[in-house]
Amino acid sequence: MTLLKWPRRHPQTHGEEPQLLQLFNSLNDVVLLLDKQHQVQFINQYWQTITGIPVEETVGRLFSDFLHPEEIPSWSQLLNKIIPSQHETVWFRLISASGELRWCEMRIQSVNKDQLYPLSATLCDITPQVRNEEVRHASHRSLQSLVDRLPAMLYRSRNNASWSMEYVSEGCELITGYSAESMLNQSQVSLGSIIHPDDATHVWEEVQQSLETFSPFDIHYRLTRADGTEVSVQDKGRGLYSKSGMVLGVEGILLLTNK
Give me the tens of pLDDT residue by residue for the chain, a chain 259 residues long: 444 444 444 444 455 667 887 888 888 899 999 999 999 999 999 999 999 999 999 999 999 999 988 888 889 888 888 888 788 888 888 899 988 888 888 999 888 878 888 999 999 998 888 777 665 665 566 566 655 667 789 999 999 989 999 888 888 888 999 988 888 876 678 899 999 999 999 999 999 999 999 999 999 999 999 999 999 999 999 999 988 889 999 999 999 997 6
Q: What pLDDT does residue 24 have?
A: 84
Distance CA 205, CA 254 (A): 18
Please report, for the domain that includes residue 202, its CATH number. Answer: 3.30.450.20
Query: What domain range includes position 197?
Result: 150-256
With beta carbons less than 8 A apart as the criterion, state whether 92 and 126 touch.
Answer: no
Rg of the chain on CA atoms, in Å? 30
Query: Does residue 238 form part of some domain?
Result: yes
pTM of the model: 0.47
- Residue 99 backbone zone (phi > 0: left; psi -120 to 50: alpha; other: beta): left
Same domain, 116 and 165: no
Using alpha carbons, select from 83, 251, 110 the residue that is nearest to residue 167: 251
Q: What pLDDT does residue 11 have?
A: 46
Distance CA 185, CA 157 (A): 9
Instruction: Name all contacts of 200-209 with Cβ < 8 Å and 24+ positions apart.
Output: 203/235, 204/161, 207/159, 207/237, 207/250
Query: Does residue 7 form part of some domain?
Result: no
For the chain, the domain total comes to: 2
Same domain, 155 and 196: yes
Residue where a domain terminates, one of 132, 165, 186? 132
Query: Does residue 36 form part of some domain?
Result: yes
Distance CA 100, CA 29 (A): 18
Distance CA 124, CA 117 (A): 22
Handedness of CA 39, 41, 44, 48 (dihedral sign): positive
DSSP β-ladder status, 217-224 and 87-95? unpaired
Q: What pLDDT does residue 36 have?
A: 92
Residue where a domain terminates, one of 105, 132, 159? 132
Q: What pLDDT does residue 49 have?
A: 92
